[in-house]
Amino acid sequence: MVDYPIVKTTDIKAAVDALKQKFPDAIQDDTRQGYGGIIVDKNHLVEVATALRDDFGFDYLSSATAVDYLGISDHMEMVYHAYRTAGGPALVFKAQTPRDKPEIPSLINVWPGADFQEREAWDLYGIKFPGHPNLKRILLWDGFDGHPMRKDWQEAYYEEDHKPFESRWPGGWVHRAEERNIYGKNVKYPADFDLSKLSDTSEESHYADLGLGVSVQKLADESHIKTDRLVVNMGPHHPSTHGVFRMIVTLNGETIEKLEPVMGYLHRNHEKIGERNTFLHNMPFTDRLDYLSSMGNNLGYALAVEQLLANGARYQPPTYRAECIRVLMVELTRIVNHLWAIGFLLNDLGAFFTPALYAIAEREKILDFFEATAGSRMMCNYMRFGGVFKDLPERIRGEATRVNDLVRDYDTMEFLTELINERLPRSIDELDQYLTDSEIIKSRTVGVGYLSPEMAIAYSAAGPLLRASGVPYDVRRADPYSIYPELDFDVAVRYNGDIYDRYLIRLDEMRESLRILKQILPRLERTRGEAIFAGNKQHTPRVPLGEAYGRVENPKGELGFYVVSAGDEKGPQNPWRYHVRAPSFISLTALGPMCIGHKVADVVAILGSIDIVLGETDR
């Protein structure tokens, strides 16, 4: 049946060659300077994608994003990163479309995980996806003027394409943005704006297909019992939505028939601002993506830009001590995040705040360490391209509470040793002891919110959500980075795919993190005093042209940064495209299917078990 060789190795080139053999007309290499992967003719995109998934084993679509090449080649492009859940590097494929009528066939039938990402590309770039059943805006509201990520779309406070803005430096004495705008606000209206025809259509599409205003009787007749469907809005202001997330739930009695996530309430234009910024400017912005695990975000972005830098001259990879410190920070971050996630999962189950108090008590100790090292409790802005910006301090002192808390003066290594060997294990065991065998927790969580492994892969779920469904996929092992290959740890995996397993897997992962941290401590001792930054600290080398995709196993799942450096090689140093593959955002694709058939009270628990953070979901 198959008339071409099936290649299931980790060798990407062999897969590409075999693919070319099968689709000789549809595929060509991406030969642009610094680019990799293949360009697929958009008319054959669905066939190629199906072959990739079924015959080559690229079953996991990690990221799908758009790029606008206005002024360079005047087309728009969708970039897809597909992986094998068996491990190995990505196969990158792209589809191009003219700017004036952008259309690319939807891949939602091949990888349902493309759903939200294609809606985002429509929302921000205006690319249409024929075949997508629900193509409407996802981050902005219906009725918004234009597609803001296009290169020719300018925001109300637009000043220049690239920072640093001339007016701020070296000129100084600048007018504030509000002064320049006649409304005194961050707003801009189209030239042909007609107030008499003004109508707020932002909510219409959410309710259009819910049977509202059509015929309630018809809906009731279908199900022989004379009941109405009830539409409940949960959020954006709701104590259990982990931020400003909103779900529109259609209920039959108390059973969920349909759930539609609505997001964008924290869409703060990360990517648009990121394209105005210089490369290094973006580092503090990454902190604010998943604000519970800023160190992990830093690492992902640093890896992406380091990949780009590695193509150029004068780049030195991070030193060994820098890598050790990075892993130390990232694994501590994982523990912070999972403690938080477990505490607030209990919140969602109705145990308001008391379990959370216990869970996040030890978090403060880790934040003390972050504060002493990076200068901030949460927004660490700690990593740089080629290392970290500061070595660990000799002693840890609490600056802010020095007067009240005179005992806060420790030797750093002693502090860390005690934290990793005693305090954190004790805290995790305590949670385990109180929660794992609790009758209430078991009856609320076991078997609720089931996600099968096939669905988890298809919906591009990531992190604990994927691994709790029995798929042992961890970027640290599947596509290793930093010094993870030399560290001894296991990929935690659970097989039941329900809320209870997602809780258990977080405990497992924290214990694995502690195993890693225990191996890091002697490495820190051994490398004490060595350089933490490769190359010249005062000077960042020029970022050469090209594209890079850096991904890390963040606590919430696979966090990827797709960074493109294009345009003028000698010109300003800004990313042409800066895209964040946010695990929280993409894992939410599976929320609707997971909730169907459960009771309304389970929705918050299922949402809590995914563990989303809105800074990353909406960006």
Partner 1 sequence: MPTLDLRELHNTEFPVPDEMQGNIAITSLSRIYNWSRRSSMWPLLFGLACCAIEMIATAAARYDLSRFGMEVMRASPRQSDLMIVSGTVTKKMVVPIVRLYNQMPEPKYVLAMGACASGGGPFKEGYNVVSGIDMYLPVDVYVPGCPPTPQALLHGLIALQKKIDGQSLANFDDVPWYGVGPSEPTPIPILGPDIIDPRQMDLIRQQAELAAAGKPYGVRDLPPTIKPEPAAAPKVPAKTAAPAAEPDDPEKAARLAKREAALARKRTAQGEQPTETPAPAAEPAAGDQAAPKKFDKEAMLAKIRERKAQKES
Determine how β-strand 557-565 pairs with β-strand 546-554. Answer: antiparallel
In sequence order, what are the residues at sequence separation of 6 or more whose Cβ sits closer than 8 angstroms to the Cβ of residue 85?
A: 59, 60, 457, 471, 473, 478
Closest to partner 1 by CB, 402 or 526: 402
Q: Which of 75, 377, 515, 599 binds partner 1 (CB under 8 A)?
A: 377
| Shortest reach from residue 239's CB to partner 1, in Å | 4
Between residue 291 and residue 320, which ones bind partner 1 under the rule CB under 8 A?
Answer: 291-292
Which residue bears the tokens 């993409």? 586
15 three-class SS? helix
Smallest distance, partner 1 to C-beta of residue 273, A? 6
Contact window for partner 1 (CB under 8 A) among 36-44, 371-379, 419-427, 512-520? 371-379
For residue 459, give both structure tokens.
């919906």
Give dist(CA 195, CA 382) in Å, integer. 48
Task: Pick the binder of partner 1 from 136, 237, 395, 537 (CB under 8 A).
Answer: 237
Minimum distance between the CB of residue 381 and partner 1, rounded to whole angstroms?
10
Q: Which of these segments, 269-277, 297-305, 410-418, 525-533, binds partner 1 (CB under 8 A)?
A: 269-277
- Give me the least distance between CB of 264 and partner 1, in Å please: 5
What is the nearest approach in angstroms of partner 1 to the Cβ of residue 367?
Answer: 8
Binder of partner 1 out of 140, 604, 605, 607 (CB under 8 A) = 140
3-state secondary structure of 212: coil
- Among 13, 101, 175, 226, which residue sits at the site for partner 1 (rule: CB under 8 A)? 175
According to CB under 8 A, which one of 7, 86, 220, 273 is a site residue for partner 1?
A: 273
In the bound complex, what is the minimum distance in angstroms from residue 520's beta carbon to partner 1? 26
Residue 374's nearest CA partner among 398, 397, 390, 396 is 390
Q: Which stretch binds partner 1 (CB under 8 A): 57-65, 285-293, 304-312, 323-331?
A: 285-293
397-416 positions binding partner 1, by CB under 8 A: 400-403, 406
CA distances from 370 to 294, 338, 376, 380 (A): 10, 17, 7, 7
Spell out, one character per residue from 507 to 546, where the chain touches partner 1: x when CB under 8 A holds, - when not.
----------------------------------------
Distance in angstroms (rounded) separating the CA atoms of residues 516 and 131: 45
> What CA–CA distance (Å, rounded) separates 124 from 618?
12
Q: Is 266 in the site for partner 1 (CB under 8 A)?
A: yes
Binding mask 432-471 for partner 1 (x = CB under 8 A): ----------------------------------------
Q: Is 148 in the site for partner 1 (CB under 8 A)?
A: yes
600 near partner 1, rule: CB under 8 A? no
351 in contact with partner 1 (CB under 8 A): no
How far, in Å, CA of 463 to CA of 147, rounded? 31
Parallel/antiparallel/unpaired status of strands 91-98 and 38-40: parallel
CB of 162 to partner 1, least distance (A): 13
Q: Does 1 bind partner 1 (CB under 8 A)?
A: no
Distance CA 148, CA 152 (A): 8
In order of 44, 160, 243, 349, 584, the CA distances from 83 in angstroms are 20, 38, 31, 35, 19
Out of 265, 413, 430, 483, which residue is the one contacting partner 1 (CB under 8 A)? Answer: 265
Q: Are 478 and 59 in contact (CB under 8 A)?
A: no
Residue found under tokens 């380091």: 306
Write each residue from 185 to 214 as x if it is in contact with partner 1 (CB under 8 A), else as -, in one continuous string.
xxxxxxxxxxx--xxx-x------------
Nearest Cα neighbor of 600 from 210, 235, 253 is 253
426 forms part of the interface with partner 1 (CB under 8 A): no
Q: How far is CA 333 from CA 215, 251, 292, 323, 520, in A?
A: 51, 38, 8, 15, 14
CB atoms within 10 A of CB 483: 17
Closest separation in Å from C-beta 399 to partner 1:
9
What minimum distance in Å lies between the beta carbon of 154 and partner 1?
A: 9
**Whole-Å CA distances, 231 to 259, 260, 454, 595, 596:** 10, 11, 30, 15, 14
Judged by CB, which is closer to partner 1: 296, or 387?
296
For partner 1, which is the closer residue by CB, 284 or 472?
A: 284
CA distance 64 to 93: 10
Question: Is the torsion defined by CA of 594, 600, 602, 608 positive or negative?
Answer: positive
In this chain, which of 71, 152, 228, 268 binds partner 1, going by CB under 8 A? 268
- Nearest distance, CB of residue 243 and partner 1, angstroms: 6
Candidate list 1, 2, 182, 407; residue touching partner 1; CB under 8 A: 182
State which of residues 243, 449, 497, 535 lies at the interface with partner 1 (CB under 8 A): 243
Minimum separation from the CB atom of position 409 to partner 1 (A):
10
Contacting residue, 4, 23, 144, 450, with partner 1 by CB under 8 A? 144
Helix axes 499-526, 320-348, angle to 10 degrees: 150
472 cis-preceded (ω within 30 degrees of 0): no
Q: Which of 18, 46, 379, 600 binds partner 1 (CB under 8 A)?
A: 379
Q: Is 180 in the site for partner 1 (CB under 8 A)?
A: yes
H/E stretch holding 28: strand 27-29
Among 264, 386, 387, 583, binds partner 1 (CB under 8 A): 264
Give whichever of 167 and 436 is closer to partner 1, judged by the CB atom. 167
Alpha-carbon gap, residue 428 to 217, rounded angstroms: 53
Binder of partner 1 out of 71, 133, 164, 239 (CB under 8 A): 239
267 vs 502, beta carbon nearer partner 1: 267
Q: Helix, strand, or coil here: 128?
A: strand
Contact call for residue 357 and partner 1 (CB under 8 A): yes
d(CA 488, CA 519): 8
* Number of residues this chain uses to bind partner 1 (CB under 8 A): 78
Rounded-to-integer distance, Cα 524 and Cα 67, Å: 41
Q: Which one of residues 112, 555, 575, 615 is an interface residue with partner 1 (CB under 8 A)?
A: 615
Beta bridge partners of 397: 409
For partner 1, give the closer residue by CB, 266 or 487.
266
The CA distance from 468 to 448, in Å, is: 13
Under the binding rule (CB under 8 A), the answer on residue 35 touching partner 1 is no
- How far apart, in whole angstroms, are the C-alpha atoms of residue 138 and residue 492? 33
Q: Which of 72, 378, 483, 491 binds partner 1 (CB under 8 A)?
A: 378
User: Within the chain, what is the greatest distance between any pair of CA atoms?
Assistant: 77
